[in-house]
Amino acid sequence: MVASKTFTLLVGAYGSVITSIRFDTASSKLSVLGTSPSGTNPSWIATHPLNNSVIISTNEANPVGGLSTFLVTDRSKGAVARSSQATTGADPAFIVGLTKARQVAVMDYSGGSGAFIPLAEDCSHSTSPRPNASSSTQPFPTPTRL
């Protein structure tokens, strides 16, 4: 018999909350623990590159999307919003933290733009997104691992 393990998942979707869900491996059951207000359409969630207690979500909106940061002190209670800011394009659908550069790369689905958002010392993001100089109205940039 395999020992039961539980995992807490933070789930974004097309709505206005991030949902905290418990998964029990023995029963294969999911149970909702709670929700946290998140802004519009938190469709992509990533762990902050410098602090595992902070998550970053996209806010997929048009004509201008956004990023939000959340402090997670107790995963069973969800996340507490910390900061938010607009991105440089519409419908941001992917983010990745860049540890050495102390920034987050965000890619916008509608219009194919991208930006690098510098991270503040307190692990939120700063207020100055920097557009990717080579971005234009091309197809959505897709992340690739080589």
CATH number where 99 lies: 2.130.10.10
- Is the Cβ–Cβ distance between 18 and 4 less than 8 Å? no
Q: Does some domain include residue 139?
A: no
Strands (E), the chain: 6-11, 17-24, 29-37, 45-47, 54-59, 66-71, 80-86, 90-98, 103-110, 114-118, 130-131
Q: What is the pTM of this model?
A: 0.76
Total domains in the chain come to 1
Token pair 């440089």 in the structure block, residue: 88
Range of the domain at 43: 6-131
Q: Does some domain include residue 142?
A: no
Per-residue pLDDT of the chain (146 residues; tens, 9 = 90+): 668 899 999 999 999 999 999 999 999 999 999 888 988 999 999 988 888 888 899 999 999 999 998 888 776 666 777 888 888 889 999 999 888 888 899 999 887 888 888 887 666 655 454 444 444 444 444 454 43
Q: Give the chain's length.
A: 146
CA 133, CA 78: separation in Å to the nearest integer?
36
Residue 3: exposure state from Cβ atoms within 10 A (0-12, 13-18, ≥19):
exposed
pLDDT for the residue numbered 138 = 44
